[in-house]
Structure 1
């Protein structure tokens, strides 16, 4: 009888000991998880000075903002590429900036327009070319984009309006001063650049 009681007590002690150890392990793991989460949350917290007063703000999830950055990069590229003044130096500076945002397809399109004499015509006619973005559609599954906009060629005698539809792909790259969004446009091409309207300016 005494032996059985001792055996039961040993079993109970063993069960209690194992349970205590498991409980301690769970507490330690939970502590590590909680600490890691606290560290991650603290890294998302930054202080911004507002009139000399530090204000705590939270950084948003990068992936939530990414589609906005993709569209901003696409719009920036088109604005740089298609905003043209009758100044060869200005054109080259804009093209140089936008070539940091795109692969060789941008350089090929620039060379193609230059060979056709497009830039010389703009300079000779003292025209100003601007672009207006209508919409940008993203296909996140294929990393593909479609740009819809209008191109305005403002000459002394008239204002020509052209449709501007382009397509291409995009991929994430390392951010840099020349590419702050960290997005590279690829295999870009112009689908439609047809003239839709021409308004003659009054000479009076």
Structure 2
């Protein structure tokens, strides 16, 4: 009877020990999981300087933001490439920034315009060129884009408005200070840059 009682106590102690060990292990793993989740969430919190003032922002899933970044890259390239002032250094700076966002098709178009004397004409005529975006179509499956906008050439004697329709492809690359979206535009070409209107300016 005594031996049976001792065996029963041993079994109970063993069961209690195993249960306690299992519960402890579960609590440790749960603690690690909770801590990892907290660290992961905290890394999504970033402080961005806005005119010297730190602003708390939250990172989101990169895949959710990617189509927005593709569209932003297309808009940024066209704005830099086609916003021009009658200043040789300003033109060079804008073109240089835009060429970080595109493959050699951008450089070829720049060389083509330069050889035609487009930039020299802007400077000599004291013209300002700006571009406005109408719409940007992104095909994420085929990794293609189409850009629709207007190019305005503001001269002393006239305001010229031209259609701007371009297309190309895009590719994900490593992010860098010169290409923060990590998107490279490729095989870019101008489909339509025809004149829409030419309104003369009258001086009184």
TM-score by length of 1: 0.78
2: CA distance, partners of 1:55 / 1:174: 23
SS in 2 for 1:133: strand
Q: Cα 1:49–1:137, aligned 2, differ >3 Å: closer, same or farther?
A: closer
Q: Deviations over 1:162-194 (max 9, x none)?
A: 111122214242221x33333332222212211
Q: Cα 1:131–1:49, aligned 2, differ >3 Å: closer, same or farther?
A: closer
Alignment match, 1:37:
37
2: CA distance, partners of 1:98 / 1:142: 23
1: CA distance, partners of 2:201 / 2:17: 93
Which deviates more from structure 2 when the two are superposed, residues 3-12 or residues 61-70?
Answer: 3-12
Shift of 1:195: 1.4
Alignment match, 1:61:
60
Which deviates more from structure 2 when the two are superposed, residues 153-162 or residues 5-14?
Answer: 5-14
SS in 2 for 1:92: helix
Native 8 Å contact 1:127 1:156 kept in 2: yes
TM-score by length of 2: 0.78
1: CA distance, partners of 2:49 / 2:86: 43
Q: Cα 1:56–1:38, aligned 2, differ >3 Å: closer, same or farther?
A: farther
Q: Cα 1:9–1:92, aligned 2, differ >3 Å: closer, same or farther?
A: same
Q: Deviations over 1:96-152 (max 9, x none)?
A: 121122221210111122233322333343322111111222223333322211001
Alignment match, 1:117:
117
Gaps of 5+ in 1: none
2: CA distance, partners of 1:188 / 1:167: 6
SS in 1 for 2:165: strand
Question: Are 2:153 and 1:153 aligned?
Answer: yes
Which deviates more from structure 2 when the two are superposed, residues 181-190 or residues 106-115?
Answer: 181-190
SS in 2 for 1:174: coil
Alignment match, 2:175:
174
SS in 1 for 2:97: helix
Q: Cα 1:49–1:91, aligned 2, differ >3 Å: closer, same or farther?
A: closer
2: CA distance, partners of 1:201 / 1:192: 26
SS in 2 for 1:123: helix
Q: Deviations over 1:41-95 (max 9, x none)?
A: 2333456899xxx988452315244444433332222111111223333322221
Alignment match, 1:27:
27
